[in-house]
Structure 1
Amino acid sequence: MSSSDIATGSSCSGSSLSGVEGGGAWVLLAAGGGGGRGSEGAALTAQPLGVAPFESGQYVRLLNRGRRLAGYGGYLFADESGKGVSIGGIREMVNTVWRVQVLETPGGAGADAYHVVLRGAYGRHLAASPRGGADGHIGYQVDQRPFDTMEDIRVMWRTIPVPGSGGDRDVVFLLNVNSSNGVIRALRANGKYRLWNTGVSLQPIDHTDARFSLMMEWEVQRPPYQLRNAARCLCFGQRRQGTGRIQVSVRVANHEGNYNDPREATFSLPGTGRSLIELERRFGCFNNDQPVSIFIRAGTHGQLFPLLTDLPSGLGNFKLVVFRAGTPGHDRLRFPDILAA
């Protein structure tokens, strides 16, 4: 899918909006100003939900503008449990990096057929939850979860660009849409006035009087790619013990980097086996004790993410793919340069 296939446009932050269904795609129509951002609201043309500015294969960070302008800062962060999502303030951690998959989903038409799937440091995907948010969080919970079926709307996201963001910054509202009932929920940070509240949640958008706030605005940053020798792989995070033993299923990519062979080796490892350094040492046996790069995935349709930190503490089963350094398949790998400015 090329960038020309991605729906683009602008919207109105802080406007009163009404939702209608047109041309097979959900469309938000500006119905007047006076929203959460004051006089910025102005009547605009109808804007379809799309996937801009995301493109498949990108690594991105999502900086919340509401918390940044409040002086707190903070990026969308894959929690070290492997289950939840929060706001993290340390930009250089791989937990703030997400990889983009733009896919065409069954039953859609035109721009409505395309959705964004975001997978994080543990291969799991940013997902909407039907559960109510924790105390102090507005709306519903947000999780990390596997991607098992193409009908799983929980991991599907759409965007509306935020107008007036200026310069070369891409700022979006990130929306989860239930196609069966038309319910739209916006990803938002919490803690505008309380620094300690780093929760992320989903706030329902009223079709007849929707109000977007700064806490729903996400600046899309793109750390550059880099080629990295496996022996110099950067590792962030604590050495996690977890509880009990863990089960690790491993596929070894062939010389060309293909890992579709269904045969897997399964290991039962102690809690210390969550350590990335320990995993690289253990799976070096697949490459004559030479360096390897390890990737992780979650779910039948889950794609790979480079494992650059220890395995999460809250999960017990993992699927890994090992690439052998020095092979053409390994040389084609791309890693996020998480230390780049």
Structure 2
Amino acid sequence: MEQFHHGHHVRLRSRVHGTYLHADEDGHGVKLRTRRASMNAAWAVHLYQGQNEQFLLLHSAAYGSYLAATDAPAPRDHRGLRVEQRNYDHPEVEPIVWQAILSESEEEVYLRNVGGACLRANGRYWNTNASVDFVDDLDNISRKMLWVVEHIPAREVMPPLPRPAGLPHPMLRSRMIMYVWRNIHGDLITRGSFMFRGRSVFRLRKQLARRLHAMAILDVSELVMGLPTRDGRMFPLVVDLPSSGEILHIFVVIVGSPAHAALRYADVDAE
């Protein structure tokens, strides 16, 4: 587990294909992509100690969902079982818990779900979903289950939010946004919900700032949105929303507050 550090971000690169494990924009799937400088390729590390060994959770720096093994068949022409993103409040815990096993060369890791299946990279140019598959003998494990862990440094400040492309289209999907704003002591200032059309995180922040203006004199640049994790932390929402249209639960923090100081931003453009 020395390749993973709690609270930091990593990329997972297939040793065989050279592609990176990406959280798909639908907020559910997991795919292999060549693009390295993408928040979708960044995974935040959550380590916790079991009775006899350490375990690993990986949640997407883009959407906050956890990398999970399932018992559903993998897509057609892929081996093994399906891998997906699961929300922080999903009742099943075992699918999102992993063990990192160092390879013989000590340059890569195998990621084995506690259910026993290992994360596998499928085709490079087609059939590029990841999957999990069971192995009987770690000495004869497939090289497609080898992953190079690349550490991603932290940014000192939040990256600029992506600008929206054009005006919101009336046919764009709407979703429910539920938000909570607490003070530095954790006491509730306000909470609420509203319908939001489209995926633009830039427009979402502006709409939230208008709603919170009655509670405090806020400039939109002072407002930071975050998504919750299973252990009660939050991480910043800095990419456009997933295309699934599912309800989004958002924490609101203000620049300069202790909650804001605790946030960590992945510098995906760093070499």
Same fold (TM over 0.5): yes
Code of the aligned partner of 2:270: A
Report the identity percentage.
30
Q: CA deviation at 1:263?
A: 5.8
Code of the aligned partner of 1:187: L
Q: Is this contact kept in 2: 1:227–1:331, CA < 8 A?
A: no
Matches within 5 A, 1:79-90: 79-90=24-35
Q: C-alpha separation between the residues in 2 aligned to 1:212 and 1:200? A: 16
Q: Is this contact kept in 2: 1:276–1:311, CA < 8 A?
A: yes
Deviations 1:86-144 (A, max 9, x none): 1121111100001011124xxx5221xx3111100111000011100111111000010
Of 257, 275, 295 in structure 1, the residue corresponding to residue 226 of structure 2 is 295
Gaps of 5+ in 2: none
Deviations 1:248-287 (A, max 9, x none): 1112242x4x6574963111222x2x21110121122436
Equivalent in the alignment of 1:265: 192
Q: Is this contact kept in 2: 1:99–1:305, CA < 8 A?
A: no
Equivalent in the alignment of 1:235: 162
Gaps of 5+ in 1: 1-50, 69-73, 179-183
Of 38, 43, 46 in structure 2, the residue corresponding to residue 101 of structure 1 is 46
3-state DSSP of counterpart to 1:206: coil
Deviations 1:190-229 (A, max 9, x none): 01xx52221100011125x763222111111111111215
Of 7, 10, 13 in structure 2, the residue corresponding to residue 63 of structure 1 is 13
Equivalent in the alignment of 1:181: none
| Greater fraction strand | 2
Larger radius of gyration: 1
Structure 1 residues 117 and 297: CA distance shift in structure 2, 3 A: same
* Greater mean alpha carbon deviation, residues 279-288 or residues 83-92: 279-288
Q: CA deviation at 1:332?
A: 3.8
Q: C-alpha separation between the residues in 1 aligned to 2:206 and 2:76? A: 42
Code of the aligned partner of 1:190: N
Deviations 1:41-90 (A, max 9, x none): xxxxxxxxxx442221011111111102xxxxx11100000000011211
Code of the aligned partner of 2:57: V
Q: CA deviation at 1:338?
A: 1.1
Equivalent in the alignment of 2:148: 219
Alignment length (residue pairs): 262
Of 308, 324, 335 in structure 1, the residue corresponding to residue 238 of structure 2 is 308
Alignment RMSD:
2.7
Q: Is this contact kept in 2: 1:123–1:303, CA < 8 A?
A: no
